[in-house]
Structure 1
Amino acid sequence: MSLAQHIARQREHLEAFITVLEAERESLSAGQVDGQRLSEQARQKQAQVTQLERLETQRLSAQRRLGYGEGRQGAETAARDAGCLDAWLEFRQRALHARQLNQLNGLLIGSRLAQNQKILDFLRNAAGQALYGPDGQSRLGSLGGVSSCA
């Protein structure tokens, strides 16, 4: 298989990975998160990563067999010599895009986790205290600053 064919296969799987990342971002941005859907997307994401790693190992092995170095410079030189430098550079750009999407999704997950933790902390605090005082007035003001006033 030529280097151009290796890059084309990697690009195809990278685009599928990006599609999963975009769907995951949409799921994480929804008002109500569908846990089952997110789990399926995580499974798909892992399958794509595994495939991309396998293809990268094959490409790198072919690159080494042809006498090129393993780093970025070796990859670019190999692509230039094989006449597919543009395809390689486009692949790298899309890989950078995938990395940014994945980081964004990680931030969204962290934000959701922090929000859920605050809710849990509030509920734990509320469960340990009476919600109304002896005068019948709400004590929610003392539970994390939540006011019962409209």
Structure 2
Amino acid sequence: MTNSIFDPVACISRERDATRDFIDILRREQAALQQPGTSLLLAIANEKAHQAQQLAQLSDARNYWLRKLGYTQDHIGMEHGLRDCPAAVGAWEELLQLAETASQLNKINGILVGQRLRYTQQAISVLQTSTHGGQNARLYCSDGQPQSFFGGRQLGEG
């Protein structure tokens, strides 16, 4: 890949736009994590994974360009690479800001996932404790049938 194949303005602009799309997904994920249900989360997670893969490909192309120019694949290398292409500097600076926003949103979403997981684990623990006196009880038997909650009859028995 040479300078003529990798157009810094176009490629960095695509990476910036893809990062904006990723931020939109992260915001939708955050909203879904704050709702009681989980129905949207799987679809959002799949979309997020697809977008992250696209971002990785765009980043790989940029890093390949830097390597071919003999520059490091970091901020200093980009500064050197963009010396010959000042038109791409604005998109690069915006990309850096967007990447920071995406990182912060992703951290917040990770905290929300952790909180949701803890809540679910606590709810299961409370159910197990209240239904079986705190013993190492299961809500279902090994054959998949529900266990009785109150020591009497199995569910469905008359």
Q: Is TM > 0.5 for Structure 1 vs Structure 2? A: yes
Which has the larger helix fraction?
1
Equivalent residue for 1:100, pick from 101, 104, 112: 104
Structure 2 unaligned regions, length at least 5: 1-5, 135-158
8 Å Cα contact 2:33/2:113 also seen in 1 = yes
Which amino acid is the alignment partner of residue 128 of structure 1? H
TM-fit CA distance, 1:79: 2.2
8 Å Cα contact 1:76/1:88 also seen in 2 = no
Provide Cα deviations, 1:29-59, integer angstroms capped at 9, x if missing partner: 12x12x2310000000000000000111011
CA distance in 2, matches of 1:3, 1:68: 14
Instruction: Indicate the SS of the match to 1:69.
Output: coil
**Which position in structure 2 is the counterpart of 1:90?**
94
Provide Cα deviations, 1:50-103, integer angstroms capped at 9, x if missing partner: 000011101111122123222220012212431122221110110010011011
CA distance in 2, matches of 1:116, 1:6: 43
Normalised to the residue count of structure 1, the TM-score between the two structures is: 0.80
Normalised to the residue count of structure 2, the TM-score between the two structures is: 0.76
When the two chains are superposed, the root-mean-square deviation of aligned CA atoms in Å is 1.5
Matched, 1:128 2:132: yes
**Which position in structure 2 is the counterpart of 1:113?**
117
Instruction: Indicate the SS of the match to 2:41.
Output: helix
| Number of residue pairs matched by the alignment | 128
**Which position in structure 1 is the counterpart of 2:67?**
64
Q: Which moved more, 1:58-67 or 1:14-23?
A: 58-67
CA distance in 1, matches of 2:93, 2:48: 23
Stretches of 4+ aligned residues off by more than 3 angstroms: none
Matched, 1:51 2:51: no
CA distance in 2, matches of 1:81, 1:29: 46
Structure 1 unaligned regions, length at least 5: 131-150
